[in-house]
Amino acid sequence: MKYVLVGLSTRAVAESAVRAGKDCVAVDFFGDIDLESVCKTVSLKREYNVSLSSFNPYSFLKAAELVDADCMIYVGPLENYPCIIQKFASYYEIIGNDAKTNEKVRDWKVVYQVCNQHNIKTPKTYNGHHYIAKPKKSGGGTGIHRLSSYVIQELVRGDPYSVSFVGDGEKAQILSINEQLIGREEFGAREFWYCGNITPVFPGEHASVVADAACTALTRHFGLKGSCGIDFVVHSSSSPYVLEVNPRPQATLELLERVYGTNMVVVHENAVRGVLEAPSARSGTPETWGKAIIYAEKDIIMPDTREWLDHSWIKDIPHPSELILKSEPICTVIADGKDRDDCFEHLVQCSLTIRDFFR
C-alpha cells in the first residue's frame, strides 16, 4: 500500500513511516531537504509559490490531487478543517480520526462540557461574536474590531503541558506527559508561540491523574482513534486546566520514538485499527528528550545547508540559499539529557550553534 502524508510539516511522520517500511509521498508546506531525502515530496512553498503569510490549507487538496496513494495520514493543521479531511476521504483511506470526529472534538464548547461532566477544569471561554476589542484610549470609532472570528478565553497562569496518547475509539493508552515550550525567547519565539517539547516530564501525581481521566473521558465520548494529544496548564495551587484536544499525531512523535525505541506510525495505525500498545522505555538511553523550533530573528539567507544533513540533531533543514523571513522557522533541533534541565540546556546550546551561522 502507498501512503500520502499531509500537513504543514510532515518530516517527522515521514521518517517514521519510511522506517516502518511504508511507501510514502509527503505533501507539506516547506519541502525541506531532509524530507526530500526520505521520500518523494510535494511542497506548497517550493512548487506552488505559497508563502506562510498567504498559506491556505485548502492548497493541500490541489497539491495532493495527482498523488496516487491508498492511505492518508494527516498532521496539523488539518484537524481544524474537517471539510478537507472529508474530501480526502473520497480519495484515500484515512489512517486517523475522520472528518465528523474532528468537527466535534475541535468544538471547544462540547469538549469543555465533557470535561466539566467529569470534574475536569477548563478556562472560562466565550464566543467572540458577542464582543469587540477597542483601544483604552480611542475616538471616532477608530481601532475597534469585531471578534467574531475568535473565542475569548480566560488566561490561566501556569506551566504548559501536553499528554500524548493513543485511542481505539473506546479506550485510551497514555504514552507520555510532555512539557510544552511556549514563547521561549531562547529559540526566538514570541508569546504563545509553540516552539517545542521536552519528554517525559512529571508535573505531579494530581496532574497525571487528571490527564488520565481526560484522555479516557474524551476518547470514549468522541471515539478518538490513533495518536492524539491534550494540551493543559498546571498551576501549583489548583487542578490542571484542559485547553484543547489535538486529534492527530503529535509533534512529540519523534521524541517518543527515541524514548521507547518503538515506531510511532505503527503504534498510531495499530490503534486506529483497534490494537492499543503500551511501549516501555528502553534501557540504556538518556532519560529525557527534547526538540525546539528555532525562529529567525531577522530576514536571513540560508548557507549551504546540505552539510547539515550530516548532523542528526538538526531537522527540518531549509534548502541552500533559501530566504527565511523574520519570525519564520529556520529549523528544528533535537537534544537529550539526564533530566529536564539538562535537556533544555542542550537545546539552548543547539540553538546558539544554529544562530552562529548567521552572525
- pLDDT tens figures, 291-312: 999 999 999 999 999 999 999 9
Superfamily covering domain 156-356: ATP-grasp fold, B domain (3.30.470.20)
pLDDT tens, residue by residue, 316-336 = 999 999 999 999 999 999 999
Structural element, H or E, at residue 323: strand 323-324
| Adjacent-strand bridge partners of 6 | 27, 74
Average pLDDT on 36-50 reads 95
CATH of range 2-95; options 3.60.15.10, 3.40.30.10, 1.20.140.10, 3.40.50.20: 3.40.50.20
Average pLDDT on 53-64 reads 90
Residue 144 has what pLDDT? Answer: 85
CA-to-CA dists, residue 210 to 37, 134, 193, angstroms: 41, 37, 25
Average pLDDT on 10-31 reads 97
Residue 237 has what pLDDT? Answer: 65
pLDDT tens, residue by residue, 65-120 = 889 999 999 999 999 999 999 999 999 999 999 999 999 999 999 999 999 999 99
pLDDT tens, residue by residue, 235-256 = 876 789 999 999 999 999 999 9
**200: preceding bond cis by omega (within 30 degrees):** yes
Mean pLDDT in the chain? 94
Put simply, whether the predicted model's pTM sits higher than 0.85 gets the answer yes
Domain segments of the chain as ranges = 2-95, 156-356
Average pLDDT on 166-195 reads 96
Residue 185 has what pLDDT? Answer: 96
